[in-house]
Structure 1
Amino acid sequence: MQSWNSPAEDRLLSPYTGWTRAHWERLADRMLDAVARHATPRQALIHLPGPVSGNGRHSDGLEGYARTFLLAAFRIAGARGADGTGALAERYAEGLAAGTDPASPERWPRLAACNQAKVEAASIALGLHETRPWIWDRLDPGVRARVVDWLAEMLGGWVPDNNWVWFRAVVEAFLRSVGGPWRQRDLAHAIERTEDWYAGGGWYADGADGPAPFRNFDHYSGWAMQLYPLWYCRISGEQAEEGLADRYRARLADYLTDLQYLVGADGAPLHQGRSLTYRYAAAAPFWAGQVFGAPALSPGLARRIGSGMVRHFTERGGPDDDGLLSLGWYRPHPPIRQNYSGPASPYWASKGFAGLLLPADHPAWTAVEEQLPVERGDFVRTLHAPGWIASGTRADGIVRIANHGADHADQGEVSRHAYDPFYSRWAYSTATGPELGGPGPVPDAEGAVHPSAPDLALPGGGPLDSHVALLDDRGRPSHRRPLTRLAVNGATAASRFRAHWPQHDGAEGPWLTTASALHGPWEVRVVRVDGDPGGARLRIGGWAVSGAVPPEQRTAADRAEARAADGLVGAVVALHGPESGPLRPGVRASTGRSSFGAHAAVPYLEAAARPGVLYVAAVALGRSLDAAPSVTVDGPSVLIDWSDGSSDRLVLSSGEGAAT
């Protein structure tokens, strides 16, 4: 049941979500009205309740203005100036006047002094472009001059070598469009670096310090790397580089062809990558396909995905009863915070409302909703660029991936890379999230969190769920990053990494080669220790199943399960290991560590590590599990027989390892 005054559902137009454009407009109005209650008198800063980010309260106030202005801009432009509240344009125009006035107590931090302001400047520039007839063209000339002056500090300014290059390019494209200053080399740099990061199949890495295969993949590929290049072309108009919009449009179409497979039937996006508290932003690339004319998905399918995602979060606590988005996935969850996360950070969710730019008679709003891939039937799909194998099951609507390509690590020294729960797990899904370390590190005097070793709050000092590790003599699990991709073929993938313990003493152990084959709710995971493990033990972790009450735990001789109250089951089954050290099952419970519920439980298998031996486990997540697969191991070859009579084969060769 929705806790807000939502319009009536239309199950003829929207048979899967019931949502229409009116739902989107009502929700946007509710969110904008809620944040207005926290604005400074002249609307330039919006100080929302919650912990201060590492950038400080002043920056957070600008963030509150800029990110909600993006939502307001979509609402204003989509209604051709006749927005539901009747005063959005005036409110945000007043904020522009005060924020850019050096003498105002509400003045914004300067871009040259506050790097985070550069991020927010891009949202302001984008919003000003979309609302030009209703805001920019009506501003006093003096205010326009001050806005140009504030934005102009972006020229030649430092930005990280990742999606931030487009913040600078979008700002300068807007400046160019209004007769302000701009630098061709800044624009060229964004275009050139984007080509360097293109991984094929429509996917971009979000920055990279070496050649392909890249390892920086998450939702940023859709809500930043796909979005801003096309918006740069939209703002630039005829001044955009020849053929650039067509190039970016074609890549977005290819990307969406893959991305549609990473959405659960309940509307949930894949829970992987940083900044997950942006929530609705995951819908942005699907709307972008309609806004920019990338014809990969039909209008009815694009709206079904967008409405499904936003309804998914809206019905689970975001916005809250006060109409505000909290720092969390559904409801507040402190461990999901990152150093740059402030109380207004979640409002990049505004990107997910880009569909409001489309007129009410656009096919994206008038076409009948269509089924998601996971609603049409079971699938296994290879996503080559990020090194993922995706499996979706129609019976429960869950999508899972096996991750053998993404860890967001650079090419530096192995021993200094701690694991990152949002990137370096072996598996992610639309129904579960990783354990994040209890209540989180203690904030500093400014309220900011600086987790130098986010795993230390976990039992044993490290990760368990969806993880493979060697346990040292103190029971501490090794870390995976950086991984090396070996193969991604059909339903199978493989990678290797050197076991190390960076959060303690930087010690390094042997290499581990792992491979996965996916089928329905099951993953067969094969592990080999390449080198002397000493006295270490090997541990293979299953899914973190969560709920409002502690999940039920079950163990047998070769199997462990965790079952949530809603019927979601995580299971691990030992399929093969040495007789001298068989895989033994167990379950670990935790509280306050999952974004999906107060209580979680993780089934796992553990054994004495032996060099050169294949350890084979079946790992499952679902609400209706069929029989576990069986395997036949012959040297480096593992023949997998699935319960439906089909089969797959994994081969781990000697040396560095491979899989076929």
Structure 2
Amino acid sequence: MTDPRLTDLQLPDEDRELSPYTGWTRAHWERTADRMLTAVQRYATPGRALIHLPGPPSGSGRHSDGLEGYARTFLLAAFRIAGAGGADGTQELADRYAAGLAAGTDPAAADRWPRMSDCNQAKVEAASIALGLHETRPWIWDRLTPAVQGRVVDWLAEMVGAWVPDNNWVWFQAVVESFLRSVGGPWKPSDIEHTIDRTESWYAGGGWYADGAGTAPPRRNFDHYSGWAMHLYPLWYCRISGADAEPGLADRYRSRLRDYLTDLQHLVGADGAPLHQGRSLTYRNAAAAAFWADQVFRAQALEPGLTRRIGSGMLRHFVDRGSLDGNGLLPLGWYGEHLPLRQSYSGPASPYWASKGFAGLLLPADHPVWTAVEQPLPVERGDFVRTLHAPGWVASGTRADGIVRIANHGADHADDRAGAGQHSYDPFYCRWAYSTATGPELGGPGPATDADGAVHPSSPDLDLPGGGPLDSYVALLDAEGRPSHRRPLHRLGADRSVHRARWPQTDTADGPWLSTGSLLRGPWEVRAVRILGEPAPGSRLRIGGWAVAGAEPPTASVQPEAGRARVQAPDGLLGVVVALHGDGLRAGVRASTGRTSFAPHAAVAFLETGPGVRVGSVYVAAVALGRSAEAAGPAPEAAVEGDRVVVRWPDGHSDELVLEGNTETRDIPQE
């Protein structure tokens, strides 16, 4: 039943002088945090140690999910309490979470927490608890009785020397042990050394981290975890450790954060939307965590007014679009509930890692991040095309509609270990393009993963009705119409990659290699495909445009023989595909319901050949996404000269792309 007290945030008046882009001030953040924290309390157990939110359980089970409800909302409460200095009614909030600490660590309590030795997910939540305890020491830790302090240390101590997966989890161990060290508890220097060493091995340059092992360089595990985990926790480890932190470590991590944010600011849309790519997207505005870290840890990559414009823009983006439901809760989804977005590890409380995006509340009200006038985003200053070398992306932003798009030739989250990752598909990594205004069509929860990160060959997205995945996609279709996928891809540059066509949903043998490349300008991407081996008889090629979504079905216009199609959502968002080169490319449109996280209805314009594509064939398409007249205007033109694709854009500018001509090159691993 909806609680009428929680349906209206009752936000303060906007301040368009201080915040000309978002209207939001610190008071808006405090009100939103308070409403979120009030909403979850009705689901707390009597001892307040577990918070059982409604929704489908995670793979770790209900008990673990209840701990997650406590830990992730405690992180939000800690930022609110510490930022207010225990005032503004936050001591009552501190007392509630202190009661949960006492019950959760009491082996005799009915709502005791699961032990880390029994539940791996507890290791993740332990880091949020340790971080929150550090930030609220005067209001929570220092007021706990010695007996409760001892039980908390005992519960956290199971992290010391424990096994953790070889990815961002190593920092959960380091953060917990840094807190234990600060209160005289046990810790293990070799755990810290291991964390620092593994992090160095994942550094890809330019401020970017790949999340974990599993692939040989160049790494391909790129997503928001680079910011909300691989930058956030190392600096927090240094903050908790104080003088005990390794010499020069904080400076190293601050320098990398500066480089990272130089890129990341270009991946935020003018409406505040972060790039819709990668796993755990239900954390929503946690994507702002790295920007707040810039100010909290004094990296000073961006001006304070730009930091707040990004942070407030993201939070308002989600609040305005219904991310808080009628009971004031964050459901599993992007805006409202959309369960296909979740991963196997996602439970009802998982979205509350959005708490990381509230880290700016730690900064006092007189800090420049709250007092400086908001500054415009890069996409609000003008059109840009930017190469992000580390993740293998080329980004294009257009001022007219505020949309940012990327072409993806570097990230697929594949795993080189035998049997892992090559026979599955992940729509959050394997598409050719992502944006701040669209999301992929989904078939269900993504590939299931073990705690050690091994991926099971479960790929419901390859079996989507109507012929499998279509949006932002390139595929060979076998004689039965089943689409191939590109995992693992092999990067040749930020704008080019090759991959062997595979059909993990069948027993079909691997197909030929495909060479693909992208050129971006304005709302347009020119996508080129070269077939490097002989396809099976009856094979066809498909090139998909964007999944344009709306509250009502998008309208469509199709010229099949001319190789041109467009779809348009009620809000004006437009997706266009145009055939530029290659025999037999015909246009079509496919509509769907309930498959994207952006809106109930979606449509994708696409191009497809008839059967009989041959080795050496080159196909070139123009794909547009935007709300501007430019997206609806003349398409680019392309000429193919051997390995070269020469593109002439509508404004007269020319670019050139060189496609790989064969697989007998040292740049392409032979399989």
Kindly report which structure 2 residues correspond to 1:241-260, keeping only aligned pairs within 5 A, or say none: 241-260=246-265
Asked if the contact 2:341–2:444 (Cα under 8 Å) also holds between the matched residues in 1, the reply is no
Counterpart of 2:61, as a letter, is: G
Of 474, 483, 490, the residue aligned with 2:489 is: 483
Q: Secondary structure at the match of 2:253?
A: helix
The question of whether the paired residues in 1 share the 8 Å contact of 2:344 and 2:445 is answered with no
What SS class does the counterpart of residue 507 from structure 1 fall into?
A: coil
Q: Does 1:547 align with 2:550?
A: yes
Question: Residues of 2 paired with 1:441 and 1:483: CA distance?
Answer: 18
Deviation at 1:462, TM superposition (A): 2.6
Q: Does 1:263 align with 2:265?
A: no
Q: What residue identity is the alignment partner of 1:348?
A: W
Name the aligned partner's letter for residue 238 of structure 1.
A
Superimposed CA distance per residue, residues 303-355 of structure 1 (whole angstroms, 9 cap, x where no aligned partner): 00000000000011111121100000000001011111110000000000000
Q: Shift of the alpha carbon at 1:83? A: 4.0
The answer to whether structure 1 residue 218 and structure 2 residue 223 are counterparts is: yes
- The aligned residue for residue 601 of structure 2 is 599
2:40 maps to 35
Aligned to 2:368: 363
CA distance in 1, matches of 2:328, 2:412: 35
Aligned partners of 1:271 and 1:429 also within 8 Å: yes
Q: What is the match of residue 194 of structure 2?
A: 189
3-state secondary structure, aligned to 1:181: coil
CA contact (8 A) 1:438 1:458 kept: no
2:569: which partner in 1? 564
Other structure's SS at 2:501 match: strand
d(CA) in 2 for partners of 1:366 and 1:534? 64
C-alpha distance in structure 2 between counterparts of 1:255 and 1:441, whole Å: 29
TM-score under structure 1 normalisation?
0.96
Name which of 139, 147, 150 aligns with 2:152. 147
Match 2:173 to one of 165, 168, 183: 168
Q: Does 1:622 align with 2:626?
A: yes
| More deviation, 510-519/432-441 | 432-441
Residue 457 of structure 1: how far off its partner (Å): 4.5
Three-state SS of the structure 1 residue aligned to 2:529 is strand
Offset of 1:42 from its aligned partner? Answer: 1.3
Deviation at 1:195, TM superposition (A): 0.3
Residue 602 of structure 1 aligns to a residue whose secondary structure is strand
**Contact 1:47–1:61 (CA under 8 A) maintained in structure 2:** yes
Change (3 A) 1:534 1:452: closer
User: Does residue 205 of structure 1 match 2:210?
Assistant: yes
Give the CA deviation at 1:451: 8.5
Map 1:344-355; keep pairs closer than 5 Å. Answer: 344-355=349-360
Does residue 1:87 correspond to 2:89, yes or no?
no
Name which of structure 1's ranges 623-632 and 393-402 shifts more when overlaid on structure 2.
623-632
Look up the match of 2:642: 635
Secondary structure of the corresponding residue to residue 500 of structure 1: coil
Task: In structure 2, give the amino acid aligned to 1:525.
Answer: R
Against the structure 1 CA distance between its residues 606 and 591, is the aligned structure 2 distance closer, same or farther, given a 3 Å change threshold?
A: same
2:653 aligned with 1:651, yes or no?
Answer: no
Distance 1:617 1:315 in 2: 35
Seen in structure 2, the aligned counterparts of structure 1 residues 439 and 94 have a Cα distance that, compared at 3 Å, is closer
For residues 394 and 21 of structure 1, the distance between their equivalents in structure 2, rounded to whole angstroms, comes to 27
Q: Percent of aligned positions with the same letter in both sequences?
A: 75
- Counterpart-to-counterpart distance in 2, 1:462 and 1:530: 23
8 Å contact kept, 2:276–2:436: yes
Task: Check 1:133–1:305 CA distance in 2 against 1; reply closer, same or farther (3 A cut).
Answer: same
The Cα shift of 1:211 comes to 3.2
Matching residue's letter, 2:658 = V
- Pairing of 1:308-347 with structure 2 (within 5 A): 308-347=313-352
Whether 1:299 aligns to 2:301 is: no
Please name the residue that 1:470 is paired with: 476
Letter in 2 for 1:458: L
Matched residues in 1 for 2:664 and 2:307: separation? 40
Separation in 1, partners of 2:166, 2:469: 29
Report deviation, 1:507: 2.4
Distance in structure 2 (CA, Å) of the matches to 1:208 and 1:81: 41
Change (3 A) 1:57 1:204: same
1:219 offset after TM fit, Å?
A: 0.3
- Paired with 2:500 and 2:398, the residues of 1 have a C-alpha distance of 33
> Residues of 2 paired with 1:280 and 1:439: CA distance?
21
Q: CA deviation at 1:412?
A: 4.1
Q: How far apart in 2 are the matches of 1:281 and 1:345?
A: 12
CA distance in 2, matches of 1:439, 1:427: 20
Is the CA contact (8 Å cut-off) linking 1:460 and 1:475 kept in structure 2? no
Mapped partners of 1:298, 1:64: distance in 2? 34
SS in 1 for 2:322: coil
The corresponding residue for 1:526 is: 528
Q: Displacement of 1:86 after TM fit?
A: 4.4
Q: Which amino acid aligns with 1:530?
A: L
Shift, 1:149, TM fit: 0.2
- Kindly indicate whether the alpha-carbon contact (under 8 Å) linking 1:460 and 1:477 is maintained by their aligned counterparts in 2: no
Aligned pair partner of 2:438 in 429, 432, 436: 432
**Does the alignment pair 1:609 with 2:595?**
no
In structure 2, the residue matched to 1:447 is none
Distance (whole Å) between structure 2 residues aligned to residue 619 and residue 256 of structure 1:
28
Structure 2 residue runs of 5 or longer lacking an equivalent are 1-6, 449-455
The 3 A distance-change label for structure 1 pair 439 and 191 is: closer
Contact 1:417–1:482 (Cα < 8 Å) also in 2: no
Supply the distance in 2 between the matched residues of 1:171 and 1:96 (Cα, whole angstroms): 15
Instruction: State how far apart, in whole Å, the 2-side matches of 1:88 and 1:3 are.
Output: 21
Partner amino acid, structure 2, of 1:551: P
Q: Separation in 2 of the partners of 1:558 and 1:573?
A: 6
SS at match of 1:517: strand
Query: Any conservation in 2 of the 1:513–1:657 contact (CA below 8 Å)?
Result: no
Tell me by how many angstroms 1:291 deviates. Answer: 0.2
- Code of the residue aligned with 2:644 in structure 1: it is S
- The 3-state SS of whatever aligns with 2:587 is strand
Aligned to 1:538: 541
- Bigger drift between 547-556 and 453-462 goes to 453-462
Q: TM-score, normalised by structure 2?
A: 0.94
Tell me if 1:6 matches 2:8.
Answer: no
Deviation at 1:66, TM superposition (A): 0.1
Within the alignment, does 1:389 sit opposite 2:394 as a pair? yes
CA distance in 1, matches of 2:11, 2:377: 24
